Structures are given as structure tokens and as C-alpha cells.
Amino acid sequence: MKTKAAVLYKYGQPLVVEEVELDEPKAGEVLVKIGAAGICRSDRHFMHGHAHIRLPAVLGHEGAGTVEKVGPGVTLCKPGDQVVLSFVPACGRCQSCLEGRSNICDTHMATGPNMMDGTCRLHKGSQYINHMGKVACFAEYAVVPDTGCVPIKTPIPMDKAAMIGCCVPTGVGAALFSAKVRAGSTVAVVGCGGVGLNVIMGAKLANAGKIIAVDILEGQLEFAMKFGATHMVNAADRDPVEQVKEITGGQGADYTFEVFGSAETVKTAYEMCRKSGTVTVVGIAPIGAEAGINAVDLVRNEKTLRGCYYGSAHSRVDMPMLVELYLSGKLPLDDLVVRHYSLDQVNEAYDDMDRGEVGRGAIVFQ
């Protein structure tokens, strides 16, 4: 079939919105009519060439839609189901999956932006086109692995469902599953965009005490207060490490999160973490970036420095749980999604993100 999609041909160039061909779903695959796709910075990294993907590629990894058709052997979902798409469809058989870390499934990582069998369903004539995160939801239709299709029992608005494909499990999961924030503890979040706001929501769900939002834009900081932040630190005004130390009686925060993606902000998050605290790095820095960490401080102060991919979440278990939290009013995703775009406006949507417009943007399909 033909589908309209946003294709990245070359780093540093805008996405090209055009018709491409999409093959039928093979065994274990599903054809999904995309309902909405979120504007996440991870796609932007590819557009800038700060992260690499095989090109050309249809981008978009934060999505939700409706199952249109299933390939042979699919039992996990059926036509008509509303589904959240996971950008780590887990194989359930590799060492990482068996160790309970399906968010870093080895089979998925090894096959990258292709289907689990290592081939593409997207092409233009004889040129194959890769699928960002095996999702490629900046398109009207997508073929995805069935394990990356998570049905929602009670339908919710598509733009909110799309958020449960990336920024919600990543951010809320960073606080609840990766760092395991304790009640009453102090949290600092460096970078309060779509993902950072979800870390703040996760810290609030964990009953953290002080939740300190750190950003360089006043608008983002004020917006963060709506999601549970108790303090604002503008890193553009004055050293954010000093400011967080002032708020925490000179100690630093128990849990700090880096949610922008640079060597500098990783260092900032590390330095504002207190003795025996945990630093969780969520942002994806440009390839080759190295953050200078004081190796002696790490040891003497027994800090924990950890990475966090996809919120250490298990898509098939945690996405339905996050939908329940939204339905019960505990995850204010209605306030998070503030701008809608058409697929043709995808480059404009990323320019808005770069300008630091608050909240999350989403492409909505008819």
C-alpha cells in the first residue's frame, strides 16, 4: 500500500513528507493506522546528525493508533484495538529479556531500525527505508512487530496514548523504576521538556518531598510547577549546582535526573547530587560526548551514577498501568499535550521544540 510519511534522507536537512510504499505485515507483525505521534527530541538528534540511524529512515517513535490488520500468527492484538507503540518491542528470549530488562532487548538492539528479522517493510521503488525504533510513526500507517503493539482496554484520546509510547514511560519510569525515588526525598530534574515533566510527575507519584525543576527557560520552569515541581532553578541566571545546594541546605538532592542530553548537563546533574545520592541520566548526548566526572568524589561520597533507557519500563506491563494512572487522574497528560500539528507541519513542530515552546507537541492524523 501507499502511505504518506516523513523521511529523513540526510543529516542536517528537514524531513521530506511524501508518499512511500509499505509492505504487508509478515508473520508476527501488525499494520497500524497511526492516530497520533509525539514530538520527542530523540528524533531531532537524528535530524541534526547528533545520533545516527541507517538512512533513509521514517522517523517518529512516540505513537499510538488502531490495528488495521495482523500478519500470520499474531495473537497479542486484533483489528480495531487501540494500541500504544513501543520503540523497544522485546523478543522475550534474549539474555536482557530473560534478566527482566526487556527495555534493552538484545534482539531489538541488534536489528536496529528494521523489523525483528532484519528487513524493512518501507520502501520507495527498490530503495528500502528504515523504521525509527521499529515504529516509524511519522506516517499515516506503520507495520510494527506485534510485541511492540500494546492494546489499551479503555480507549483514550490518541494524542495522550501516543505520549505513553515514549515520554511518559521514560520520564515516570526514570523516577519510579530506574532511580526508585523514595517518599520524602529531594529530587532535581535538569531539563523540563516533555520527558523531564514526566520525571517530575513520577517523582510526585513517588511522594518525593522537594522537587526542583532546573531549566534555562523561565517558561519551562513555570510550566513545570503545574506538574508537581516545588522549586524552580534557572540555570541561565546562575550556577544551577549552587542554587540546588542552597535549596537543600548545602547538601544537594537525593536523586538528580539529566533530561536534556549533553555532557555539560550530565556533569551538572552529577554535581548537584548529594552524598550517597543517585544520578540518573535520561537525555541522549551527541555521539562521542564524554562528561568529566570527579572519580574520587564518586567513590568517597558513594554516589550512584546510572543510565536509563525507556524508563527501565516493561512496555507490555507498564504501558497499561500508565494508561490506568491517566484514567484515574493521577497523570495529567491533558495538560502536557499543548500543541497539535498535521504531518505536513512536522518540521515546524521541531522548530517550535527548539524554540523551547512549553509542553509536548503531537502530530494528529484524521
Active site residues: 40, 42, 45, 61, 166
Instruction: Determine if 89 is a binding residue for ligand NAD (CB under 6 A).
Output: no
Among 140, 146, 159, 215, contact with ligand NAD (rule: CB under 6 A): 215
Query: In terms of CB distance, is 62 or 146 closer to Zn ion?
Result: 62
Residue from 89, 5, 107, 8 nearest 49 by CA: 8
Query: In terms of CB distance, is 34 or 358 closer to ligand NAD?
Result: 358
- Residue written as grid cell 514511560: 169
Among 65, 89, 191, 202, contact with ligand NAD (rule: CB under 6 A): 191
Contacts 24+ apart (CB under 8 A), 266-272: 266/291, 266/293, 267/291, 267/292, 267/293, 268/190, 268/214, 268/235, 268/240, 268/241, 269/188, 269/190, 270/303, 270/305, 271/241, 272/188, 272/190, 272/214, 272/240, 272/241, 272/244, 272/245
Q: With contacts defined by CB under 6 A, how many residues of the chain interact with ligand NAD?
A: 31
Instruction: Determine if 278 is a binding residue for ligand NAD (CB under 6 A).
Output: no
By DSSP bridging, strand 211-215 and strand 187-190 are parallel
Among 107, 147, 198, 256, contact with Zn ion (rule: CB under 5 A): 107
Angle (CA) 340 343 345, round 5°? 70
First to last CA, the chain: 18
Distance CA 184, CA 198 (A): 18
Among 91, 135, 181, 285, contact with Zn ion (rule: CB under 5 A): 91
Which amino acid, one-letter code, is at 146?
D
Helices (H), strands (E): how many in the chain?
A: 13, 18
What mask of x and - would describe binding to ligand NAD in positions 5 to 44, judged by CB under 6 A? -----------------------------------xxx--
- Residue written as grid cell 527530541: 41
298 binds, among Zn ion, ligand NAD, none (CB under 5 to 8 A by kind): none
Instruction: Determine if 122 is a binding residue for ligand NAD (CB under 6 A).
Output: no
Residue 184: CA atoms inside 13 Å, Cβ hemisphere, count? 0
Instruction: Determine if 105 is a binding residue for Zn ion (CB under 5 A).
Output: yes
186 binds, among ligand NAD, Zn ion, none (CB under 5 to 8 A by kind): none
Among 6, 7, 97, 281, contact with Zn ion (rule: CB under 5 A): 97
Instruction: Determine if 198 is a binding residue for Zn ion (CB under 5 A).
Output: no
Instruction: Determine if 178 is a binding residue for Zn ion (CB under 5 A).
Output: no
233: three-class secondary structure by DSSP: strand
94 binds, among ligand NAD, Zn ion, none (CB under 5 to 8 A by kind): Zn ion
By DSSP bridging, strand 127-131 and strand 122-124 are antiparallel
259 binds, among Zn ion, ligand NAD, none (CB under 5 to 8 A by kind): ligand NAD
Q: For ligand NAD, which stretch binds (CB under 6 A), given 108-116, 140-148, 254-262, 344-352?
A: 254-262
Q: Give least dist CB 123 to ligand NAD, A.
A: 27
Q: Contact, 290 vs 265, CB < 8 A?
A: no
Instruction: Determine if 138 is a binding residue for ligand NAD (CB under 6 A).
Output: no
Q: For ligand NAD, which stretch binds (CB under 6 A), given 3-11, 106-114, 204-212, 257-265?
A: 257-265
Q: Tell me which DSSP letter residue 139 carries.
A: B
Instruction: Determine if 45 is a binding residue for ligand NAD (CB under 6 A).
Output: yes
Among 76, 213, 323, 353, contact with ligand NAD (rule: CB under 6 A): 353
Distance CA 127, CA 1 (A): 15
Question: Binding residues for Zn ion, per CB under 5 A?
Answer: 40, 42, 62, 90-91, 94, 97, 105, 107, 166
Question: Binding residues for ligand NAD, per CB under 6 A?
Answer: 40-42, 45, 166, 170, 190-196, 214-217, 220, 235, 259-261, 265, 282-284, 308-310, 353, 356
